Amino acid sequence: MGILSKVEDRPTPPQVYNWRVYMTACVASFAAIMIGYDSAFIGGTLALPSFIAEFGWGEKQKSKTEVNLLKANVVSLYQAGAFFGAIFAYPAGHFLGRQRGLTIFSIVFIIGASIMLGANGARGLGLIYGGRVLAGIGVGGASNLVPICKQSQTSWSTSQKKLTISRYLGDFTSRYPWASRGSL
How much of the chain is helix, strand and coil, in % rounded to 5? 75, 0, 25
Question: Could you read off the pLDDT of 12-28 as tens digits, one per residue?
Answer: 676 666 777 667 667 66
pLDDT score, position 166: 57
Alpha carbons 164 and 76: distance in angstroms, whole number: 29
Q: How many C-beta atoms lie closer than 10 Å to residue 157's C-beta?
A: 11
Average pLDDT, the chain: 78
Is the predicted pLDDT of residue 1 greater than 70, yes or no?
A: no
Q: How many C-beta atoms lie closer than 10 Å to residue 126's C-beta?
A: 11
- State pTM to two decimals: 0.74
- Supply the Cα-derived Rg of the chain in whole angstroms: 20
Is the predicted pLDDT of residue 184 greater than 50, yes or no?
A: no
Question: Could you read off the pLDDT of 28-85 as tens digits, one per residue?
Answer: 667 767 777 787 788 888 888 999 999 988 888 889 999 999 999 999 999 999 999 9
**Domain segments of the chain as ranges:** 18-180
CATH superfamily, with its number, for domain 18-180: MFS general substrate transporter like domains (1.20.1250.20)
> With contact defined as beta carbons under 8 Å apart, do 63 and 117 qualify?
no
